[in-house]
Amino acid sequence: MSSDERTFVMVKPDGVQRGLIGEIVSRFEERGLKLVGGKFIQIDQELAHDHYGEHEDKPFFDGLVEFITSGPVFAMVWEGADATRQVRSMVGETDPAESAPGTIRGDFGLDLGRNVIHASDHEDEGANEREIDLFFDEDELLDYERIDEAWLYE
């Protein structure tokens, strides 16, 4: 496979409560991305503060922390060529009202604060690695070859 990249994705509490984990995982699998790590967790205050640290001085910070700790999330790491950009394209704009139909937020999101999913920013080179390290230990990420990989990339 050419230039594998790993990217962090999380189904937020609203997506979990709405039963969207399977649908979201299926979309990434159907695209050809490979799931290399996943876990169902309840985020505590410390992890929430670490995850949203860059927003700490913003007025919406407390709301972000309150929401992300309000229920379980499904954290994942996906792998593939240009995975971060591919995932961001599939997720859509942060505001679901601005997301195209066919994107995850365009199909399932109704509100900026309840937009179903988080994905690492492809424009912030360090975001992926930082977020993966926050949520996963090295031994929780697997290296393996899917049977269809030869058919996905030239």
User: What's the CATH code of the domain at 102?
Assistant: 3.30.70.141
Which residue out of 49, 51, 55, 118 is catalytically annotated? 118
Backbone angles phi, psi at 115, to 5 degrees: -105, 20
Burial class from Cβ neighbours inside 10 Å (0-12, 13-18, 19+) for residue 72 reads middle
**In-domain check, residue 148:** no
pLDDT in tens, 10-55: 999 999 999 999 999 999 999 999 999 999 999 999 999 999 988 8
**In-domain check, residue 14:** yes
**In-domain check, residue 108:** yes
Is-catalytic flag, 122?
no
**In-domain check, residue 154:** no
Alpha helices in the chain (DSSP H): 13-17, 21-31, 45-51, 61-68, 83-91, 104-108, 127-135, 149-152
| pLDDT on residue 2 | 43
The pTM for the full model equals 0.93
Tokens of 150: 């030869």
**In-domain check, residue 151:** no
Average pLDDT (48-68) is 92
Domain count, the chain: 1
pLDDT higher than threshold 60 for residue 1: no
What is the band of 3 on the pLDDT scale with cuts at 50, 70, 90?
low
Tokens of 139: 């031994």
Provide the terminal-to-terminal Cα distance of the chain, rounded to the nearest Å: 8
